Each structure stands twice: as C-alpha cells, then as structure tokens.
Amino acid sequence: MLLKLGMSVTPDMVGYVVRDMQATLDFYRQLGLPIPENAHLNPAGESEMHVEVTVSGYRLAWDDLALIRQLDSSWEEPRGRRISVAFKTDSPAEVDALYDKLTALGYSGHTPPYNAFWGQRYAVVYDPDGNTVDLFCAL
C-alpha cells in the first residue's frame, strides 16, 4: 500500500560506516569516483570523520566509526552484509578490467566476472569494510 502524503521523496545519498577512512576512500577512488587524494584529512591534517562526493547527482558519504558512535552511543556494528552498491561500466570488458585491477591491488574478489542469465556481465568485490560492490554492464 502506497501512502500519498502530497510530497515527493527522492533518493539522495548512500552512507557508509567505515573503520579506516583512508583505506576506504582509496578503494572507491580506484573504482573511478572523483574523491580528492587528501579528502580523508581536514585542513589541519587531522582525520576527517565524514567525507562525501556527488556522482551523477547522487551523493555517496563515508562516516568514521567514531563519528557514528558519537551520534548514537547505542550503535552496534552490524554482522553480515551491510550494504551492496552496484557500479555500471560502459562495456563488459571494463567489468573484467576493473575486477582484475581491484583484485591485483589486493582487494578481495567475491565473484569473478561472468555473463549472468539476466543479460549482464557481472562481478563482485569487497570494499575494505566487507561491503559488496557489484560491477556490471549490459551484454
């Protein structure tokens, strides 16, 4: 049942909770996200607790564990899959190349590239916090 409230709701941001801001940002930078090299540091050279970028009008944000615990003292780290985000490439060959690049850099692969029955070239890697990151392109 859809409740009509006379307003519109638009997805705007996906937020991650991270253990190591620099390691996480390095991973997503390798995916090609426009994250500045020192985004994990504030002007004084101290670690940032929140970093975000906008890609195609959509925000991705990363919050340090310390910030989350400051905002919610009852927060507990989840077990199992926390979130899965899919990144679309321009070609099936790019799915393979990106998977190979990330695993060569030491990131864990979960599912090597394959032609999925639903018509996509598909692969899955893990980010530094164990979140699954899907890579795909239409065949």
What digits encode the pLDDT tens for the residues 39-65?
999 999 999 999 999 999 989 999 999
Domain ranges of the chain: 12-73, 83-138
Residue-level pLDDT at 12 = 86
> How far apart, in Å, are the Cα atoms of 84 and each of 15, 33, 98, 126, 131?
11, 16, 17, 9, 6
Instruction: Answer yes or no: are the C-beta atoms of 64 and 21 closer than 8 Å.
Output: yes
Output the pLDDT for position 9. 65
Could you give the CA distance from residue 132 to residue 139 in angstroms, rounded to a whole number? 22
Q: Class for domain 12-73, per CATH?
A: alpha beta
5 band by pLDDT with thresholds 50, 70 and 90: low
| Encoded tokens for 114 | 């394959």
CATH superfamily of 83-138: 2,3-Dihydroxybiphenyl 1,2-Dioxygenase, domain 1 (3.10.180.10)
pLDDT of residue 4: 57
Rounded average pLDDT over 25-38: 95
- Which residue would you say has higher pLDDT here, 46 or 83? 46
* Whole-number Å distance between alpha carbons of 127 and 70: 24
